[in-house]
Amino acid sequence: MIHPIWSNIFRGFQRKESQTEIALKQVPVFENLKKRELKEIGKIVHERDFLKDEYVFKCNTPGLGMYIIIDGEIVIEGDDGTEFARLMKGDFFGETALINDDKRNASAKAFSDSKVIAFFRSDLLEIIRRNPVFGTKILFNLSNIMTKRLRKSNNLIQQTKDNT
């Protein structure tokens, strides 16, 4: 029998996942990544709190990256204040800025006090430079998301044409 003083003190110990890691695992941009890769993303993302009515970004400003909502609600609105979408915990937005740095075509504003994680284009480019296979996984996931959204938009356009 092993004396208790020599037992493995780490047996049964599981590292608790951070709120950031849990959120990242649920975002399609990061699906199919290994635990090690998710941890690396977790180290480079930027967490920020926004007060109610504070802008995450404004329309016509350069796109720097994507955002994942950890807590609160974010409203996506047009230049004229028209609400396009209301997003909440677990939702993500702004992912096209990971591909190009075009100006934003909408604004994102905190509908309530909110906490978001930001993943910037410069961080993605650094991942691609250091580990092309890892970066390609993220780019492939992004292309799948954008393809699905394009198909959905095309279907809505077709439905609108069919109804007129």
Q: What is residue 93's predicted lDDT score, i.e. its pLDDT?
A: 97
pLDDT block averages, 10 residues each, the chain of length 164: 53 65 91 92 95 97 96 96 95 94 95 97 97 96 94 89 84
Does residue 1 lie in a domain region? no
Which pLDDT belongs to residue 5?
53
Please enumerate in sequence order all residues whose Cβ is within 8 A of that of 40, keeping only pairs 6 or more positions apart, or say none. 127, 134
- Would you state the pLDDT for residue 3? 52
pLDDT for the residue 14: 56
Alpha carbon of residue 121 to chain centroid: 12
> Of 121, 65, 111, 115, nearest to 90 (Cα)?
115
Residue 5 located in a structural domain: no
The per-residue pLDDT for 13 is 52
User: CA 110, CA 112: separation in Å to the nearest integer?
Assistant: 5
User: Is residue 119 a part of any domain in this protein?
Assistant: yes
Is the residue at 94 inside a domain? yes
pLDDT for the residue 80: 92
Q: What is the pLDDT of residue 6?
A: 54
Number of structural domains in the chain? 1
Instruction: Look at residue 127 and tell me if it is in a domain.
Output: yes
pLDDT of residue 19: 80
Whether 8 is in a domain gets the answer no
CA distances from 149 to 43, 66, 161 (A): 29, 16, 18
Question: Strands, E, within the chain: which ranges?
Answer: 46-50, 55-57, 65-71, 73-77, 83-88, 92-93, 107-110, 114-120
What's the CATH number where 59 sits?
2.60.120.10
Tokens 């950031």 belong to 20
In the DSSP assignment, the letter for residue 41 is H
pTM of the model: 0.83
Check residue 164 and give its pLDDT: 77
Q: Is residue 2 domain-resident?
A: no
Residue 12 lies in a domain: no
What pLDDT shows up at residue 8? Answer: 54
Please give the backbone phi and psi of residue 24, each rounded to the nearest 5 degrees, phi first: -60, -40
Domain span including residue 91: 17-163
